């Protein structure tokens, strides 16, 4: 039972929780009984909405980081080649190697997941086309 509160208010709570704020702080700021806010918080659809907000936050952050990745890599390469000391150059070189390994692992996993998704889609399409 949704209750007398508008859906937008429940969404506001989900956004607040997804942003790292407490249920109690949100309830107080919005003059909603704490018990009501926690009832909303326990619902599976609420948790799903929080997860969706967090995915959106992550996607935005990833987009912002992607815009600056070439600048960051260029700076690390500059430190590797022209760093002010051996320790700076060594740390930069280690960062390049470590990051390259992580990115390579990620790319490999991403390709494997994409291949699996393609296979699942083809199977689902094949099963659905017989109807």
pLDDT tens per residue, range 57-105: 999 998 998 898 888 888 888 888 898 999 998 888 888 888 888 887 8
- The answer to whether 23 touches 13, Cβ cutoff 8 Å, is yes
**pLDDT at res. 107:** 80
Contact 50, 14 (CB under 8 A): yes
Question: Rounded CA gap, 20 and 117, in Å?
Answer: 32
């Amino acid at each position: 039972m949704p209750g007398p509160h508008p859906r937008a208010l429940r969404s506001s709570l989900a956004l607040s929780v997804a942003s790292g704020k407490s249920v109690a702080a949100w309830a107080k700021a919005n003059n909603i009984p704490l018990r009501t806010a926690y009832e909303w918080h326990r619902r599976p659809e609420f948790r799903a909405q929080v997860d969706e907000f967090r995915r959106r936050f992550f996607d935005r952050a990833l987009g912002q980081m992607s815009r600056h990745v070439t600048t960051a890599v260029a700076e690390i390469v500059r430190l590797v080649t022209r760093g002010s000391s051996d320790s700076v150059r060594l740390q930069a070189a280690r960062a390049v190697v470590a990051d390259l390994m992580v990115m390579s692992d990620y790319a490999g996993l991403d390709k494997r997941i994409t291949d699996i998704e393609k296979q699942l889609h083809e199977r689902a399409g094949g099963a659905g086309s017989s109807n």
